[in-house]
Amino acid sequence: MRPTYDVRAWREHGWWLARVVAATDGAPDSPVNSVAHARSLIGIEQAARDLVATILDVEEETFDIELEYVLPDEIETLVFEAIGARTWLDAAQQLWEQHSVAAIESLLGQGFSPRETAKLLGLPDEGLDQLLDGTGQRAA
């Protein structure tokens, strides 16, 4: 099992900072409390990986990091709400696709034409093909 380092990242004065806050049992704790920095959020994970690898003098593939972003409370709440809404949206999309495919197959099986089936489900004609071929593209 590879060691894992817990890292917290936050924004301060236009920079992203990341502190190694913990290590799994048995992992060298020498990187704990070390701080990395990057100009952007995109670069902070790599900066933290580079930091741990440099301190341990090992390849990055020999350990994992768990990165936690620390945001101001009001922003964190908005981000969590957006993630939650996206989760609901994805679940609703999957449910819609499953029910639509079942309805399409039943209607076509009962002799309805593809055009009639699309009309009954409120889909454009090409929406049937997209659902049936599994592309999952929203057709309505």
The ranges assigned to domains in the chain are 4-70, 75-132
* Radius of gyration (C-alpha) of the chain in whole angstroms: 24
- Chain Cα centroid distance, residue 127: 27
Whether the pLDDT of residue 140 is over 60: the answer is no
pLDDT at 11: 95
Name residue 102's amino acid: A
Q: What burial class does residue 100 get, using C-beta atoms within 10 Å of its C-beta: 0-12 exposed, 13-18 middle, 19+ buried?
A: buried
Residues 5, 9: Cα–Cα separation, whole Å: 13
pLDDT tens, residue by residue, 55-81: 999 999 999 999 999 999 889 999 999
Ranges assigned E (strand) in 33-111: 35-38, 64-70
For the entire predicted model, the pTM comes to 0.65
pLDDT tens, residue by residue, 90-133: 999 999 999 999 999 999 999 999 999 999 999 987 778 888 88
